[in-house]
Structure 1
Amino acid sequence: MAPQQLYPRSTVKRIVKAHSNRNLSKNVDIMIFLDYTLFIQDLMREATIKARLSGERGISARSVRKVRENSLRKFKG
């Protein structure tokens, strides 16, 4: 059985190309996916730390909102 794709590569490339109006390299969709994964991982790690410092039992939307801006700044290209 062949491995299943996590996302449609051609669709991602088409969307990015339409928004950027630039030529794209062969594996740009993989780089975008990996960058997104690292961003979500960083966001959740920072939200977990913020929630624990605030005395919350789990991660809430409030703790994610508090760390959102810092995480977005780290990943701005």
Structure 2
Amino acid sequence: MTPKGGRDAIDGWGADEAGRPVLKVRVSAAPADGAANAAVVALLAKALKVPKSAVRIAAGETARIKRLEIDGASEADAARAFGAPP
């Protein structure tokens, strides 16, 4: 996640230091008071067409790389919304 990224957007797939696929997301919100996390949740919920309450940050609340849990969206839904991970 890139806070204060100028716009809210999903920039496609990348890889972390271990080579695992990560979805690159940027939001215009600052990371203060959880605003950036809330913007990420809203952006992903909209892209996956699920309610915001279905998207939770499971790990990485204060980190740039986060692990999310999403109810009501399958891997096929994610592939349709974001493309297949590398």
Which has the bigger relative contact order, CA under 8 A and spacing at least 6? 2
Greater radius of gyration (CA): 1
Structure with greater proportional helix content: 1
- TM above 0.5, one fold? no
Structure with greater proportional strand content: 2
Give the structure-1-normalised TM-score.
Answer: 0.30
